[in-house]
């Protein structure tokens, strides 16, 4: 299955203007913002000076013109930047957004005044105009995001950082709206913690496409060893991870499993997956699916074990924010007496991206029940030291809502002797987070990503998706 192509971001641009402020600033501000966005690899949809005065908006007619332009690109615009080179007409900005019908993230940027240029010919008043623009968007019930500083020049380091943050927000919102998840098999009987509401997800634009494990195994049974899909997947597995001492028959089973899952996901146009494992695949097929799932996650098609659908939504949100692979981990053990450290662990299907070293082996826990020969396919190794973020998404059926938590921490290089895929994580005020998880009844699984992107996921899910999220700030 092909790795998802990286999409060129496309942003709508609204340039605010107000006639009794220096309107030459609107022309300069539009040019500055276009230059910055294009240098960042962003495709821009904006009025031109032929469409309106300086390509900015001030009147209702100009707002409608801008809205009509945005409508032409409605299916491809990821977000909108409102730039205020001067005070700007706050109503025109709100009208343009309302008339466009766009339901995308909006970032409000205001250009700062310069102390030596405060006379009538050059004074911006964007500092004040930003408040009016935000006030009107709030009245129109149009959600919006803010830059870190109240005023920032388009070419400043602060705006460069905020732009990348905002692009992350747009990726998360677009990646979660209309998401199709493959649920492969049934929830393991012993894992009540991964229960979820398919209807609540559907109400939020996320569809779950199911297939019984028997259908997967039936397709595998019909696949010959020399099937091109099986051969290709076998070669990919051997190139992906060290398979020394793993029986050839087990590798072929993994290859067929991977080929069948790839084919089914392509047929159903599912982007991510959650797979039944414990212990049906081991008992009745003879391998664990960990390596196959690890490869999918490493290729940015997140895959969670134990059919944890809500868990893989968290993985996908982090993956869209960072554009790097995510994993699903257990909050598993304390680490000595340090209250801010814990061991995060899985058996494991962690993507190779997470490991400082990795090899394929058998699954030691399940082997005690079904035998070592039936449990080859785990990815064993130590998680590398790196900054990280974590997220848990959950469907609260009794309240009829989606909720969750996010935060940042870091994987450390502390000594750890164990099996599976594991790492020591350090999180400020970890005990407060653990208390919150337990008091609110969250699951023992958490999604993780080797990038500090919790602020992106929090902004996207709370402001633009309306989910109830807790941000565990450092």
If we measure between CA atoms, which residue out of 346, 377, 365 comes closest to residue 245?
377
- pTM here? 0.96
Pick the closest to residue 96 from 63, 54, 53 (CA basis).
63
Flag whether pLDDT at 342 surpasses 70.
yes
Topology of domain 10-176, CATH: Rossmann fold (3.40.50)
Q: Which CATH class is domain 180-472?
A: alpha beta
Mean pLDDT over 74-89 rounds to 96
Cβ contacts of residue 217 below 8 Å, gap of 6+?
284, 285
377-425 per-position pLDDT tens digit? 999 999 999 999 999 999 999 999 999 999 999 999 999 999 999 999 9
* Dihedral (Cα; 330, 471, 299, 202), 10-degree rounding: 90
Task: Give every CB contact of residue 233 below 8 A, 6+ residues apart in sequence.
Answer: 254, 255, 256, 258, 259, 262
> Where does the pLDDT of residue 116 fall: very low under 50, low under 70, confident under 90, or very high at 90 and above?
confident
Residue 1 confidence (pLDDT) above 70: no
Q: What is the 3-state secondary structure (H, E, C) of 212-262?
A: CHHHHHHHHHHCCCCCHHHHHHHHHHHHHCECCCCCHHHHHHHHHHHHHHH
CA neighbor of 383 nearest in space, from 294, 461, 469: 294
Evaluate whether 10-176 and 180-472 have a shared fold.
Answer: no
pLDDT digits (tens, 9 = 90+) for 356-385: 999 999 888 887 778 888 889 999 999 999
User: Mean pLDDT score of the chain, rounded to an integer?
Assistant: 95
Tell me the sheet residues that pair with 422.
Answer: 345, 382
pLDDT at 331 over 90: yes
The neighbouring-strand residues paired with 331 are 344
CA distance 188 to 204: 25
Question: How many angstroms separate the CA atoms of 303 and 138, rounded?
Answer: 38
* CA torsion through residues 460, 461, 465, 469, sign: negative
Helices 248-268, 290-298: crossing angle, 10 deg rounding: 50
Closest CA to 26 of 108, 81, 86: 86
CA gap 329, 427 in Å, rounded: 15
Domain ranges of the chain: 10-176, 180-472
Q: What ranges make up the beta strands (E) of 412-460?
A: 421-426, 445-449
Query: Do 199 and 112 contact (CB within 8 A), yes or no?
Result: no
3-state secondary structure of 399: coil
């Amino acid at each position: 299955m092909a790795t998802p192509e990286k999409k060129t971001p496309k942003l709508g641009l609204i340039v605010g203007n107000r006639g009794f402020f220096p309107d030459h600033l609107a022309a300069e501000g539009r040019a500055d913002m276009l230059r910055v966005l294009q240098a960042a690899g962003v495709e821009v949809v904006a009025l031109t000076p032929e469409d309106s005065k300086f390509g900015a908006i001030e009147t209702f007619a100009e707002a409608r013109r801008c809205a009509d332009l945005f409508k032409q690109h409605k299916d491809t615009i990821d977000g909108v930047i409102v730039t205020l080179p001067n005070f700007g007409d706050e109503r025109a900005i709100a009208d343009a957004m309302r008339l466009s019908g766009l339901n995308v993230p909006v970032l409000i940027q205001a250009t700062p005044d310069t102390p030596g240029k405060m006379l009538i010919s050059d004074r911006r008043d964007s500092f004040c105009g930003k408040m009016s623009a935000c006030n009107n968007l709030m009245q129109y019930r149009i959600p919006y995001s803010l830059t870190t500083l109240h005023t920032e020049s388009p070419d400043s380091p602060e705006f460069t950082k905020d732009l990348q943050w905002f692009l992350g927000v747009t990726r998360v919102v677009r990646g979660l709206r209309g998401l199709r998840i493959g649920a492969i098999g049934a929830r393991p009987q012993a894992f009540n913690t991964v229960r979820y509401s398919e209807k609540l997800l559907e109400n939020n634009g996320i569809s779950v496409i199911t297939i019984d494990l028997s259908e997967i195994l039936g397709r595998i049974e019909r696949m010959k060893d020399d099937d091109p899909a099986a051969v290709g997947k076998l070669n990919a597995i051997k190139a992906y991870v060290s398979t020394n001492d793993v029986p050839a028959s087990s590798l072929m089973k993994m290859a067929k499993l991977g080929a069948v899952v790839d084919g089914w996901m392509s047929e159903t146009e599912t982007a991510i997956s959650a797979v039944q494992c414990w212990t049906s695949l081991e008992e009745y097929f003879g391998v664990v699916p960990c390596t196959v799932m690890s490869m999918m996650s490493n290729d940015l098609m997140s895959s969670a074990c134990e059919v944890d659908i809500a868990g893989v939504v968290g993985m996908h949100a982090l993956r869209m924010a960072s554009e790097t692979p995510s994993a699903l981990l257990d909050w598993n053990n304390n680490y000595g007496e340090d209250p801010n450290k814990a061991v995060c662990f899985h058996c494991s299907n962690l993507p190779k991206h997470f490991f400082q070293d990795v090899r394929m082996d058998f699954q030691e826990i399940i082997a005690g029940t079904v035998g070592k020969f039936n449990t080859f396919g785990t990815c064993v190794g130590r998680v590398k030291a790196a900054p990280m973020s974590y997220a848990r998404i959950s469907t609260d059926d009794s309240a009829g809502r989606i909720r969750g938590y996010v935060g940042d921490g870091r994987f450390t290089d502390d000594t750890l002797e164990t099996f599976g895929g594991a790492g020591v994580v350090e999180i400020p005020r970890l005990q407060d987070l653990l208390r919150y998880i337990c008091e609110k009844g969250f699951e023992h699984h958490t999604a993780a990503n080797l990038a500090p992107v919790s602020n992106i996921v929090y902004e996207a899910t709370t402001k633009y998706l309306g989910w109830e999220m807790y941000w565990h700030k450092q």
